[in-house]
């Protein structure tokens, strides 16, 4: 499944980032989101807006499109 | 003198530390990109200079902001590094530390927010951490200044900071590539402490370093090295260079942290979580933002700002003018000087100073938004709308700041990663109605729109925003359609804004306005007044025979179809290019008035409600002020786009004002 499949409040582990836009991938790595990171979906904005994920106590906003390219495994 | 550079991730108190160490009044904000250019301060003990660089996650830059940091490393001479590290986010922060250690200059870590870390249940063994990394570490709390003096002592007086050369092994394939590149570099005149650092950065995909190396080495040779190493790595391990280098560092950090931190307890729900449940709520996020914006503008313009401005105006035009008149009479001032001061400078400069309360209140609110951490949430909430016009949520921040002043607004566009989106944002920010335009609205709206004042002013603000959105769509679909839009944003923890910091940042933003009143506006009013009393026939002519009237009269026909073809309006627009608020100063002089109430009377005779509104729309749009144009030139580095940024608003302003005035006439308004 992909990150955007998760519902608000659900947790998952990152499995694959390779199909992500390079810039977004680098930025997520900067913020400490990488293979094996545990993420928690905090909010999904309406109308296909961005979602907020929490990872290691920090909150990061990314677009739904990008969340679609992040493969995760639900916990 | 020794020069020390300050590096660190965004939002972790770097600028606070800078203020603590230098005692200067640098500006601090709680969202990425407040430090827009490197700032230099003198350490409190006067032993060295400290350079504050923009916050960066990595030395491999993605945004213009981060490029400043990498270029600083490549081109500047400095003695040592202070690396501020967020104790509550060590895993992520230490990536930058590794890159800095590899650079090879003496380095010391300021371990910030140990209190926050403790409250999150993270216990840090500083001695172990220091031993593992091979650097000195000073725990600090930058906001309160705790530990900062010790840091200052250590960095300036400990001759040789205890530091062993740092070396992380990246595995056979990458190491072979590094050695090959370093060998090539031996023949080059490089003054950097570490060639190995250059090689590692090159392989990890750092474009700024690549450009630097391309001037030293053969382009094809470099590409060949890169391709060769990447290919071998992919075939053997299935990893890209970027991933492999990142993972090695990640592993190293994990072993370091295993020995130096203990998690004592799990965290409960933090305050930030609680606030964000509303502020970034799926349904409430947008309404909350709009409500805050509404209150911000109501307080600024109606509830508190206007009464203060009115009081200041009646003081300046009443008691102050009388007092000045008495003094001037007492000293027997010549009629010329008397008139220059009372008809020129006082109404000119005073007419602008009257708006100081409103402008400071607006800047105060913008500072609160920045310092509290809410600004990043605005980006998030606005992203969906911005996406539909080809930009991202971060582009909304320059626009919000642009309401205060376009210049810092344009500079804050540096945090936008994609060059195309950044350029569009820079071009459109001037359409945001800055506080300097407010005096003009206030004057005309007060005369013509009475009870609907606030509504009319709001319509102008809205028009600026709507036009910016429409044009963004147009620009991103036509002239600048290359890259896809992306958006990743860190939402920093909320913090209660520090009153002292707010006062400082409000003052720092607003002082420019007062300074302008004392320089630009002052000079401008003197010139305008002189031109208004000198004519072809000599001195002391009537206003209508003055050089000013002649100049304005020459330009006036251009604006006649828009409803304001008087020479006075033309002159006011001309001076408005220097600074928007000088439109009011100029009107004060050309109509020979000394108080706002008086000017309102004259304006009421010279305009109709329709032509007044057309004039206001024109003022809103017609051209960015001189300071903004200079900033656009500096930020885009392109004469072409700078000229474009001056021409397109004029055309749009002309067309819209034309439609409003002529259309209104047809409708019989």
Around A35, how many Cα atoms within 13 Å sit in the side-chain half-sphere? 12
Structure-token pair, residue B499: 């009153």
Residue pair B166/B134 in contact by the 8 Å Cβ criterion:
yes
Residue A33 has pLDDT above 80, yes or no: yes
Q: How confident is the model at residue B30 (pLDDT cuts 50, 70, 90)?
A: very low
The residue of B91, B201, B276, B486 whose CB has the most chain A CBs within 10 angstroms, and thus the best one to mutate to test that interface, is B486
Q: What is the pLDDT of residue B192?
A: 77
B291, B292, B298, B303: CA torsion to nearest 10: 120
Q: How large is the average pLDDT for residues B93-107?
A: 93
Question: C-alpha distances in angstroms, A65 versus A4, A13, A29, B157?
Answer: 8, 18, 18, 52
Secondary structure (DSSP) of B472-509: HHHHHHTTT--SPP--EEEEPPP-PPPHHHHHHHHHHH
Q: Which among B62, B88, B384 is the nearest to A48, CB-wise?
A: B384
Q: Which residues of A touch B488 (CB under 8 A)?
A: 24, 27-28, 31, 60-62, 66
Structure-token pair, residue B497: 């804004």
- Percentage of the residues of chain A whose pLDDT score is greater than 70: 100
Distance CA B295, CA B302 (A): 10
- Cβ–Cβ of B383/A44 closer than 8 Å? no
Q: What is the pLDDT of residue B480?
A: 65
Cβ contacts of B450 within 8 Å, gap of 6 or more: none
Structure-token pair, residue B280: 């970034």
Q: What is the pLDDT of residue B669?
A: 72
pLDDT tens digit sequence for B137-191: 999 998 888 888 898 888 887 655 555 678 899 999 999 999 999 998 888 887 7
- Cβ–Cβ of B58/A24 closer than 8 Å? no
Q: Which among B95, B242, B276 is the nearest to A59, CB-wise?
A: B276
Q: Which residues of A touch B267 (CB under 8 A)?
A: 57
Distance from CA of B384 to the nearest CA of A (A): 5
Q: Which residues pair with B123 in a beta bridge?
A: B262
State which H helix or E strand residue B618 sits in. helix B609-621
The residue of A19, A25, A61 whose CB has the most chain B CBs within 10 angstroms, and thus the best one to mutate to test that interface, is A61
pLDDT tens digit sequence for B499-508: 877 887 788 7
Q: What is the pLDDT of residue B426?
A: 94
Residue B196's CB is within 10 A of a number of other CB atoms, namely 20
**What domains can be seen in chain A, in order of their start residue?**
3-74 (2.30.30.90)
Q: How large is the average pLDDT for residues B89-98?
A: 93
pLDDT tens digit sequence for B646-665: 999 999 999 999 999 999 99
pLDDT tens digit sequence for B338-357: 888 887 788 778 777 877 88
Q: How large is the average pLDDT for residues B89-117?
A: 91
Structure-token pair, residue B464: 């600026």
- Cβ–Cβ of A8/B242 closer than 8 Å? no
Q: How large is the average pLDDT for residues B195-206?
A: 92
Residue B331 has pLDDT above 80, yes or no: yes
Ranked by mean pLDDT, the top range of B32-36, B38-42, B88-92, B249-253 is: B249-253
Question: C-alpha distances in angstroms, B520 versus B352, B359, B436, B495?
Answer: 11, 18, 13, 38
- Percentage of the residues of chain B whose pLDDT score is greater than 70: 95
Q: What is the pLDDT of residue B483?
A: 65
Cβ contacts of B572 within 8 Å, gap of 6 or more: B583, B586, B587, B590
Geometric angle at alpha carbon B482, from B477 and B487, rounded to 5°: 90
Q: What is the pLDDT of residue B36?
A: 46
pTM recorded for the entire structure: 0.80
Distance from CA of B1 to the nearest CA of A (A): 34
Q: How confident is the model at residue B33 (pLDDT cuts 50, 70, 90)?
A: very low
Q: How confident is the model at residue B29 (pLDDT cuts 50, 70, 90)?
A: very low
Residue B553 has pLDDT above 70, yes or no: yes
Q: How large is the average pLDDT for residues A21-31?
A: 87
Q: What is the number of residues in chain B?
A: 669
Distance CA B297, CA B608 (A): 27
Among chain B residues, CA nearest to A35: B247
Q: What is the pLDDT of residue B161?
A: 58
Cβ contacts of B511 within 8 Å, gap of 6 or more: none
Cβ contacts of B21 within 8 Å, gap of 6 or more: B41, B43, B44, B50, B148, B151, B152
Q: How confident is the model at residue B31 (pLDDT cuts 50, 70, 90)?
A: very low
Residue B200 has pLDDT above 90, yes or no: yes
């Amino acid at each position: 499944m992909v990150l955007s499949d998760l519902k608000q409040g659900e947790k998952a582990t990152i499995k694959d980032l390779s199909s992500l836009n390079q810039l977004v991938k680098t930025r997520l790595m900067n913020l400490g989101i990488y293979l094996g990171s545990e993420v928690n979906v905090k909010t999904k904005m309406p109308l296909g807006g961005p979602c907020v994920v929490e990872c290691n106590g920090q909150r990061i906003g990314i677009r739904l499109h990008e969340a679609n390219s992040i493969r995760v495994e639900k916990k | 003198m020794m020069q020390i550079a300050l590096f660190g991730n965004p939002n972790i108190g770097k600028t606070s530390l800078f203020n603590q160490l230098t005692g200067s009044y640098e500006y601090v904000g709680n969202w990425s990109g407040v430090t827009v250019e490197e700032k230099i301060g003198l350490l409190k003990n006067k032993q060295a200079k400290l350079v504050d660089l923009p916050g960066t996650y990595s030395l491999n830059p993605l945004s213009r902001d981060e490029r400043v940091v990498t270029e600083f490393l490549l081109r500047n001479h400095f003695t040592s590094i202070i690396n501020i590290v967020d104790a509550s986010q060590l895993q992520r922060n230490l990536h930058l530390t590794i890159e800095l250690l590899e650079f090879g200059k003496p380095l010391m870590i300021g371990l910030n927010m140990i209190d926050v870390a403790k409250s999150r249940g993270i216990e840090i063994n500083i001695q172990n951490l220091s031993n593992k990394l091979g650097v000195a570490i000073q725990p600090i709390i930058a906001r309160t200044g705790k530990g900062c003096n010790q840091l200052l002592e250590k960095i300036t007086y400990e001759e040789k900071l205890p530091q062993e050369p740092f070396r992380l092994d990246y595995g056979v394939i990458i190491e072979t590539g590094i050695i090959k590149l370093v060998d090539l570099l031996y023949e080059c005149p490089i003054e950097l402490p570490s060639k190995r650092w250059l090689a590692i950065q090159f392989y990890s995909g750092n474009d700024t370093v690549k450009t630097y190396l391309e001037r030293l080495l053969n382009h094809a040779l470099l590409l060949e090295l890169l391709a060769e190493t990447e290919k071998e790595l992919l075939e053997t391990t299935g990893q890209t260079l970027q991933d492999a280098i990142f993972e090695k560092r990640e592993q190293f950090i994990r072993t370091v942290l295993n020995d130096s931190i203990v998690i004592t307890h799990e965290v409960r729900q933090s305050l930030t979580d609680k606030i964000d449940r509303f502020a970034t709520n799926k349904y409430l996020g947008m309404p909350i933002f709009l409500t805050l914006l509404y209150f911000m503008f109501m307080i600024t313009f109606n509830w508190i700002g206007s009464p203060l401005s009115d009081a200041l105006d009646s003081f300046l035009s009443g008691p102050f003018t009388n007092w000045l008149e008495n003094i001037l009479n007492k000293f027997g001032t010549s009629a010329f000087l008397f008139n220059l001061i009372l008809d020129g400078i006082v109404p000119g400069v005073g007419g602008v100073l009257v708006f100081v309360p409103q402008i400071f209140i607006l800047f105060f609110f913008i500072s609160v938004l920045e310092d509290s951490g809410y600004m990043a949430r605005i980006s998030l909430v606005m992203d969906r709308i911005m996406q539909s016009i080809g930009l991202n949520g971060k582009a909304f921040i320059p626009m919000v700041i642009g309401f205060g002043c376009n210049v810092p607004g344009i500079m804050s566009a540096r945090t936008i990663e994609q060059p195309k989106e950044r350029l569009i944002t820079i071009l459109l920010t001037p359409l945001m109605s800055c506080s300097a335009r407010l005096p003009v609205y206030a004057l005309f709206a007060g005369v013509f729109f009475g009870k609907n004042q606030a509504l009319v002013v709001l319509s102008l603000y809205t028009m600026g925003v709507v036009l910016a959105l429409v044009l963004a769509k147009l620009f991103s679909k036509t002239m600048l359609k290359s890259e896809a839009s992306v958006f990743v944003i860190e939402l920093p923890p909320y913090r209660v804004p520090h009153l002292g910091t707010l006062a400082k940042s409000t003052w720092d933003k607003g002082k420019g306005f007062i300074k302008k009143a004392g320089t630009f506006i002052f000079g401008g009013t003197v010139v305008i007044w002189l031109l208004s009393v000198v004519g072809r026939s000599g001195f002391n002519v009537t206003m209508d025979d003055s050089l000013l009237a002649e100049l304005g009269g020459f330009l006036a026909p251009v604006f006649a179809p828009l409803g304001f073809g008087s020479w006075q309006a033309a002159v006011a627009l001309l001076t408005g290019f220097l600074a928007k608020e000088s439109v009011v100063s100029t009107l004060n002089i050309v109509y020979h008035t000394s108080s706002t109430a008086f000017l309102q009377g004259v304006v009421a005779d010279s305009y109709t409600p329709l032509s007044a509104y057309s004039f206001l729309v024109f003022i809103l749009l017609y051209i960015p002020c001189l300071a903004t144009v200079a900033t656009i030139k500096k930020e885009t580095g392109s004469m072409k786009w700078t000229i474009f940024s001056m021409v397109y608003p004029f055309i749009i302003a002309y067309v819209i004002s034309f439609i409003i005035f002529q259309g209104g006439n047809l409708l019989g308004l």
